[in-house]
Structure 1
Amino acid sequence: MMDKAKGLHTHKPYYYNRELSWLKFNERVLDEAIDKEVPLCERLSFVSIFQSNLDEFFMVRVGTLTDQMIFSADARDNKTQMTAKEQLSEIFTSVGELLRKKDRAYLNLMSEIGEYGIELISFNDIEFADAVYLENYFKHSIMPLLSPQIVGKKQPFPFLRNKEIYAVALLKSKNNEKLGIVPCSSEVFKRLIPIPSDKNKYMLVEELILHFMPQIFSKYTIKSKSLIRIIRNADIDVDDAFYDEDLDYRNTMEKMIRERRKLCPVKMEYSRLLDEKVIVTLCKELKLNKDQIYYSEAPLSMSFISQIRDKLHGKKDLFYVRRVPQNSRYVRSSLSMMEQIEAGDILLSYPFESMQPFIRLLNEAGENEKVVSIKMTLYRVAKNSQIVEALINAAENGKEVVVLVELRARFDEENNIEWSRRLEDAGCRIIYGIDHIKVHSKLCLITYCDGTEVKHITQIGTGNYNEQTAKLYTDLSLMTANQDIAEEAAQVFNRLCMAQVMEETHHLLVAPKCLQNKVLDFIEEEICHADNNEPAYIGVKMNSLTDKTIIDKMVEASQHGVKIDLVVRGICCLIPGIEGYTENIRVISIVGRYLEHSRIYIFGTPERDKMFISSADFMTRNTVKRVEVATPIYDTAIKDRVRTMFGIMLHDTVKGRELCRDGNYYRREKPQEESEVISSQAYFSNEAYLAASKNV
């Protein structure tokens, strides 16, 4: 039924396993670290991004599969029919290959960095005077801060923190052998230790600690020593696992965060050849199998890379050319934002255009005496959020401010908890969403009175209300005075306030009940056009495609002759080009300087198409298990702009990879004519700069 070597389902050959597809995405991230056309320091950053991505993958996806293997061993992936055990086996094998590729990339990059004078060195590479300095530094600045432990009958195996580095040693004393463990992570001492004879040479603090393990465990003989780092399961369902009637929801989330830190390990890496006895002991204590343990030639944590980048910041050729979000050509700084939106819809394209017009809209609404209320959903916000400050200011000015703060935004819970307190203290009305359904929509509704008439301005976006990610992620943000859209947006907020969801819509697509079904209807319409020998087309841009119901409908559409173009950055469980199934489907992935994050849905040919931008990927968790909102694009000029953007992304010959029928992604051959070479992100950035220069 299933080709285990490739993760392909052979009965229905157009399915691909979700987890293995994600690993292919992270390999595309790693490929950016190898691409010589990417500046050197940026390539180094891609190694770090690869590692942080993989850490989260193990914390969430591998953690979920590990639990499933224990509690639902017979459950199978609904597309490839793989059990959790089979998926984990494939994952562990693939990860081993990826980590070896990562090690090669890192070592090559550090060799190139060395040509610019920056080096990470070991004790084998230093002069005597430097060795003396480092030993004194260790004795006086490091050792007093360490908390070594020997594991024995009276000293139980310690709790190892998630993602932190530990030095471990096999200790021998007379006829006894014990395990020594030393935490190497601390906010007190530096990760990079400068070498006195050369200010551009450094040693990692964990390497220094490892070298002086004989001094730490002076009464023992060190038989072997290594550095280790573990990743723990972080997959907790707050609704199912930690709902406590005696706690309010915010306290429940705080309890969940504490519990998450204690979950079982799912992966370990080590950086030296470990004695087999140590491996056996660690496997037993951490409850890991050997296939969850990986050897690494590269440092176990890449957190120091930002410091290396900082030390080379003066060498401009090692970095991307500086780009900042530009003022939109469609926005006039001298005019009121509310008046401009009343005059016509405005679309912002991040990070090429600035988020400031939207922030200006919020600030203006908070000060405008006509404004009655501001309602907004918050999922992930910046640490020092201008958007939240604008909402606080509006509340303090007497506006009704209703904010749904989704505390279940994974790994951003603590930040959201703190902001929810500040909003509440300022007089905002706070909602925490609906049990078992995350609110992932990006929706803002401003209500004001113009004489006796009640009017609205609605903003709907594909990305979070976060000024920092708006400089790094590609997203779209629509601001409109369309009253049909506003009325349905108001209904969405009313339902949320009553812990309900939308049952029916006419303009917006609103999950969990009014998105997937409408998407299926739109696909069916294209099938009907194709059956009538009329041109039929579907174009979708998203982060991930896993929704089996939508995949099956797309396959049906392909079989009827509908042309389908998909720009899918990450997971794609649909294999194109399979004869008899998906030969009319094309899949492109773009991985580049910015994280592709916008979602665009196009159903139909240009003269009749229905077009939406959305917060929702075509993943079951988005389409039927979350509150998501897609807004139609009604403005003709904006539709033309979005259609053009989609076409440019689809024909990206620099950062676009094409998914082929063998389940692998391939770079496209670059055209011989330079004018035909397209890097979509560079194109949009250059376009924004050119438009801004003309708009001054």
Structure 2
Amino acid sequence: MPRIKPRTKKPVEDILLTDPQYYFNRELSWIEFNARVLQEGMNPRTPLLERLKFLAIFSHNLDEYFMVRVAGLKQQVEAGVHRRSPDGRTPSEQLQDIRDRLLPLIAKQHHHFQASLRPQLAKHGIYISNYETLQSEQRAYLRRYFEEHLFPVLTPLAVDPSHPFPYISNLSLNLAVVVRDPDSQHENFARVKVPSLLPRFVPLPVALWVLPNGRTATWVGVPIEQVVAHNLETLFPGMQIQACYPFRITRNADLDVEEDEAGDLLQAIEQELRKRRYGGSVVRLEVQSSMPDAMRQTLIEEMGIGQDDVYDIEGLLSLGHVMSLVDLPRSDLRDPPWSPVAHPRLRRLSDSSMAFRGEGEDDFFAVIRRQDVLLHHPYQSFSSSVQRFIHQAAHDPNVLTIKMTLYRTSGDSPIVESLIAAAENGKQVAVLVELKARFDEANNISWARKLEEAGVHVVYGLVGLKTHTKLVLVVRQEENQIRRYVHIGTGNYNPKTARLYTDVGLLSCRDALGADLTDLFNFLTGYSRQQTYRKLMVAPVNLRDRLLALIQREAQHSREGKHARIVAKLNALVEPGIIRALYEASQAGVEIDLVVRGMCCLRPGVKGVSDRIRVISVVGRFLEHSRILYFHNGGQEEVYIGSADWMPRNLDRRVEVMTPVEDEQLAKDLQEILGILLADNYNAWELKPDGRYVQRRAHGRSSVLKAQSVLMELAAKQSDSGANRS
């Protein structure tokens, strides 16, 4: 990223806060986040198989980045768009800068895998072997494997005047093959697609683990494309195999749905999914660096791309597939296992039967009535809290209605099963399923149909908006009154990601929150145009204005000589208007700490602009996903949680919710979480004014503080103390 241009000091009133030099580029900032992921894969302090995991995540992240972000920039260039980003770059300039930054990162990833991780894995008995190094018995086994499992499903496709160049599917691994006719000596090009439904690494049986120096093996396998490549003569009998090189393409995979013209949104999304699979322009071609120029040029011309869309790879293509090796039975090479603990106030509930037990100590609703409950995943169990809450609501005879938003959930979701059970039990169940949740569209369509078949009222959201908020509303008859219970969270209702992502959630039966959620669901499912809410900040209705007002309030407090402080934990900070407000607050004297996991377009530490703003990113074993906001407010502290990052799409094109946490103790708990993250000197990276991220290290006598480990210990201690009190 470019460094700040030297400039003379100006009075605050003369500093133009829209100047591009005060903003980092969104796309390049994302690459810097992925570079931090890669660094975890290269960090010797990280257990070996965890390093392999981070290398795989780096590759998966890049795939999605090209399919969506790079594809979007290329579309802008093709459409002749020259509008500059807040940092002053045109789309074409961004594409060039992206390539310039990615080339060394990709080279670093593959070199580290080849030169460091593979040898270290081998020392621990995990061998990703090359076909050329195998012994005769091992090759004979793989020959039989090829004949029995691969040959029947492979389809060699010739390219000649009577056979046009075949369609290459997105993210598929392929072999470009040159064969020679021994009679005519004429060379022909062919393509062989490597089967994606078979394991990328073919394991050898234990009996064939012939290892040097009598070493003990945990696993021995060979990349599947090498097995295919060394048995090509079976696919081309009578021909001479001249050359064979792997390649892989990435296509534009962003959905383009004209909702105003889509009479049936579900059907329209299904059609777009087929286009994603079978269509979309090529945005990246990955080839083995040793591929000859002539073969490379053939692929470039047939794909309709330029030289800058080609990425040379040293070694194996598509390292995302090494994720399949992370779960090998070597716990000594992974992080210590962590099992989420029961929330101390819900521990007795989690230990009892999942069946509804009525009022009393085992009644979930009684716990919430006594006091709001703050949940922190994956430190605290999702299944014994959120999942249990929805399950009990589904089976409680006093519950009348359940309303919920579903953005992403797992393929075998117990929550969806509870919603179906609720409908079968005669309750009114309404679920907003977001069909446009990127790369989860097919899964959500499947669940939407299953819910509809069970009698659940399924809504697909609002035209032009994604419903990203995470909400549950349960309406319950209690004696002579109706009471509403709510869950407002930062993470998806997905029990699998709840074990991997850090998220917080609030369970409450406060009247104002229940009334707000009732109004919001009417907005989502009906024709309501609710513009005011009692407690909630809702996008795109009032969230942007409320956030700006909260930041400006801190600035005013500082001008009045009061202590002023803002702490925000986010996934991304991109919105220029919010960034300008933060700059103005810093100029006014507000101390600002930002914990931004991914993209951050704000430039901290610039004299006269952002002197009082500090930014860190925490990248650890769990994906930091929670959004927590703190405002000092002249001593009347306010804390908010919710689903929204500070990005244009979250504020303008999505339905998002941020809720205040009004229970004083729970607000202190959230402040403690923020404090622990800010003190991290193990997984935290500091963003410098020039755009570099520098990893923190403990110095001198200071002890290592690893925030996620501290939060695990804290959760375990709290759960144990709750058990002792019960």
| Inter-partner Cα distance in structure 2 for 1:203 and 1:662 | 44
| Inter-partner Cα distance in structure 2 for 1:72 and 1:434 | 31
**Superposition RMSD in Å:** 2.1
Instruction: Tell me which residue corresponds to 2:676.
Output: 648
Aligned with 2:204 (options 166, 183, 194): 194
Q: Tell me if structure 1 keeps the 8 A contact 2:551–2:582.
A: yes
Give the secondary-structure state (helix, strand or coil) at the position aligned to 2:700.
coil
Aligned with 2:161 (options 153, 158, 164): 153
Q: Deviations over 1:541-600 (max 9, x none)?
A: 000000111011111111111111100000000110011111110001000000000001
Structure 2 gaps, min length 5? 6-16, 211-218, 350-360
Does the alignment pair 1:237 with 2:256?
A: yes
| Inter-partner Cα distance in structure 2 for 1:123 and 1:2 | 45
With the length of structure 1 as denominator, give the TM-score of the two structures.
0.95
Give the secondary-structure state (helix, strand or coil) at the position aligned to 1:677.
coil
Instruction: Tell me which residue corresponds to 1:681.
Output: 708
After TM superposition, give the deviation of residue 219 of structure 1 in Å: 4.5
| Inter-partner Cα distance in structure 2 for 1:132 and 1:437 | 57
The one-letter code of the counterpart of 1:102 is Q
Alpha carbons of 1:11 and 1:518: their partners in 2 closer, same or farther (altered >3 Å)?
A: closer
| Inter-partner Cα distance in structure 2 for 1:606 and 1:689 | 34
Give the secondary-structure state (helix, strand or coil) at the position aligned to 1:85.
helix
Q: Tell me if structure 2 keeps the 8 A contact 1:502–1:510.
A: no
Aligned with 2:39 (options 13, 31, 36): 31
Q: Deviations over 1:609-660 (max 9, x none)?
A: 2210010000110011110000101000001100111011011111010000
Alpha carbons of 1:664 and 1:3: their partners in 2 closer, same or farther (altered >3 Å)?
A: closer
Instruction: Tell me which residue corresponds to 1:87.
Output: 94
Does the alignment pair 1:328 with 2:343?
A: yes
> Equivalences for 1:254-653 in 2 at 5 Å?
254-261=270-277, 262-302=279-319, 304-311=321-328, 313=329, 315-331=330-346, 332-333=348-349, 334-355=361-382, 356-498=384-526, 502-604=530-632, 607-653=635-681
Does the alignment pair 1:205 with 2:232?
A: no
Instruction: Tell me which residue corresponds to 2:356.
Output: none
The one-letter code of the counterpart of 1:244 is A
| Inter-partner Cα distance in structure 2 for 1:197 and 1:222 | 28
Alpha carbons of 1:40 and 1:520: their partners in 2 closer, same or farther (altered >3 Å)?
A: same
Q: Which moved more, 1:292-301 or 1:102-111?
A: 292-301
After TM superposition, give the deviation of residue 140 of structure 1 in Å: 4.5
| Inter-partner Cα distance in structure 2 for 1:298 and 1:686 | 41
Q: Tell me if structure 1 keeps the 8 A contact 2:48–2:333.
A: yes
Q: Deviations over 1:647-694 (max 9, x none)?
A: 1101111101000011010011214336x4211111111111122223
Q: Deviations over 1:205-248 (max 9, x none)?
A: 101112233443344444432101111111122236x9433xx2
| Inter-partner Cα distance in structure 1 for 2:513 and 2:585 | 29
| Inter-partner Cα distance in structure 2 for 1:572 and 1:162 | 30
Q: Tell me if structure 1 keeps the 8 A contact 2:344–2:720.
A: no
Give the secondary-structure state (helix, strand or coil) at the position aligned to 1:464.
coil
| Inter-partner Cα distance in structure 2 for 1:49 and 1:345 | 36
The one-letter code of the counterpart of 1:338 is F
After TM superposition, give the deviation of residue 176 of structure 1 in Å: 4.0
Q: Tell me if structure 2 keeps the 8 A contact 1:162–1:230.
A: yes
Alpha carbons of 1:98 and 1:243: their partners in 2 closer, same or farther (altered >3 Å)?
A: farther
Alpha carbons of 1:490 and 1:283: their partners in 2 closer, same or farther (altered >3 Å)?
A: same
Identity of aligned residues (%): 35
Q: Tell me if structure 2 keeps the 8 A contact 1:502–1:514.
A: no
Give the secondary-structure state (helix, strand or coil) at the position aligned to 1:13.
helix
Instruction: Tell me which residue corresponds to 2:355.
Output: none
Give the secondary-structure state (helix, strand or coil) at the position aligned to 1:238.
coil
The one-letter code of the counterpart of 2:478 is D
Alpha carbons of 1:189 and 1:148: their partners in 2 closer, same or farther (altered >3 Å)?
A: farther
Q: Tell me if structure 1 keeps the 8 A contact 2:153–2:195.
A: no
Does the alignment pair 1:253 with 2:260?
A: no
Give the paired residue count: 686
Alpha carbons of 1:50 and 1:143: their partners in 2 closer, same or farther (altered >3 Å)?
A: same
Q: Tell me if structure 1 keeps the 8 A contact 2:63–2:250.
A: yes
Q: Tell me if structure 1 keeps the 8 A contact 2:401–2:476.
A: yes
| Inter-partner Cα distance in structure 1 for 2:658 and 2:530 | 13
After TM superposition, give the deviation of residue 136 of structure 1 in Å: 4.3
Aligned with 2:55 (options 47, 56, 67): 47
Instruction: Tell me which residue corresponds to 1:67.
Output: 75
Does the alignment pair 1:105 with 2:112?
A: yes
Q: Tell me if structure 2 keeps the 8 A contact 1:366–1:390.
A: yes
After TM superposition, give the deviation of residue 60 of structure 1 in Å: 0.8
Q: Tell me if structure 1 keeps the 8 A contact 2:56–2:321.
A: no
Q: Tell me if structure 1 keeps the 8 A contact 2:553–2:633.
A: no
